[in-house]
Amino acid sequence: MSPEAAHAPARVKFDVEAVRREFPILDERIHDQALVYLDNANTTQKPTSVLETLDEFYRHQNANIHRATHLLSERATAAYEGARAKIARFIGARETGEIVLTKGCTDSLNLVAQSFARPRLKAGDEILVTWLEHHSNIVPWQLIAQITGAKLHVVPIDERGDLTLEDFEKHLTGRTKIVSVTHISNALGTILPVREIVELAHDRGIPTIVDGAQSAAHLPVDVQAIGCDFFAFSSHKMYGPTGSGALYGKRRWLDEMPPCQGGGDMISTVSFEESTWAPVPHKFEAGTPNIAGVVGFGAAVDFLRRFDLDEVAAHEHDLLEYGTARLAEVPGLRIIGTAARKSGVLSFVMDGIHPHDIGTVLDQAGVAIRTGQHCAQPVMDRYGIPATARISFGIYNTRADVDAAIGPLHDVRKLFG
């Protein structure tokens, strides 16, 4: 990791009003109303520094990477690999070689399932997940289970959306060969004790994967402290571009794993008889990647590294508490998910009113929220509901944003009540 690439940007004191001025889209008007964006668990908006980095890349650096000697290619390669170094530093990886650049968290989890888990599983083995998982941490394991004869085993949650370590430990058996859990539930906001979960699994020699899509932008993440074998996350939930993400993997595993896609840039030699692979991490990065997206991802990491993420987490927790209190004022509204440790997510239902109707009324008032199953249908099934409306906070949200949603929610009750 080069000192230049990994050097931290100058730290600034967190000031939400100053932060808001860095996001041009917050000046947008929706249905002639000022935009209030409360859909951050879905995707986040982009600061000027990320937008300018993308523009700079396409204007002055655009070329393919690793494959040419001309200056533009050298610039593009330096920017791409520099972003990898920033990402490694951001999550506490030991080296840049432990960061595989992917299309996003879903791509990362599928890579682990296909390349790491598939060769290790056989009929009767179990893959342990929780009831809180996003579809991206369910479906890849189901596909592998169908191929290998392994089974998906699920740790339940209680009515609050919590699970206890004691209950989790009961589900670890001699058949458990893989543990893959979310760090933060996108549907309920529950924060899982991933460090302790990893310890319980490792005590039994079980490898661990953490889905960090919802945590990387909201909590300080140190993969060495967590101890997990793999950690997957996405740029677009970290104020960066869509279509880029990363997989952290311990070097010992990445060295052992076979590539799961073939093509250019992941090879060392190719003949019609056989091919040999490039070293880690490049053997997992076949073809021309989303170069600009990765460079923009690096800029998003720079943006986040300017702040103390503990301060950001405290700001978002204040919004969570304030939002919880304000939602309680709305007749017939019930919050789904009241875990003891929560991130800035408020999922809710209103008696007799479909969440899509709630979202439509709020949209007319300029307030953007998510409605539906949130790619977490088993969570909805757990509570016997078809869907929820969801408010989710980001670094630029304020109490005024919460207030902007409350009036339209009362209007929903009047319209459909």
CB 121 within 8 A of CB 177: yes
Residue 2 is classified by DSSP as: -
Residue 7: predicted pLDDT: 65
Distances from the Cα of 339 to the Cαs of 35, 335, 374, 375, 397, in angstroms?
Answer: 30, 11, 18, 20, 22
Write the pLDDT tens digit of every residue in 11-57. 888 999 999 999 999 999 999 999 999 999 999 999 999 999 999 99
**pLDDT above 50: residue 218:** yes
> E strands within 309-362?
333-336, 345-350
The helix/strand/coil state of 231 is strand
Write the pLDDT tens digit of every residue in 337-373. 999 999 999 999 999 999 999 999 999 999 999 999 9
Write the pLDDT tens digit of every residue in 80-89. 999 999 999 9
Write the pLDDT tens digit of every residue in 161-193. 999 999 999 999 999 999 999 999 999 999 999
CB 211 within 8 A of CB 183: yes
Residue 9: predicted pLDDT: 83
Write the pLDDT tens digit of every residue in 127-162. 999 999 999 999 999 999 999 999 999 999 999 999
The residues spanned by each domain of the chain are 11-40+308-416, 55-305
CATH topology of domain 11-40+308-416: Aspartate Aminotransferase, domain 1 (3.90.1150)
Mean pLDDT across the stretch 215-240? 98
Q: How far apart are CA 249 and CA 226, in angstroms?
A: 13
**Is 260 a known active-site residue?**
no
Residue 11: predicted pLDDT: 85
Query: Is 55-305 assigned to CATH 3.40.640.10?
Result: yes
Q: How far apart are CA 28 and CA 34, in angstroms?
A: 6
**pLDDT above 70: residue 1:** no
**Which is catalytic among the residues 105, 228, 260, 375?**
375
Q: How large is the greatest C-alpha to C-alpha distance in the chain, in angstroms?
A: 72
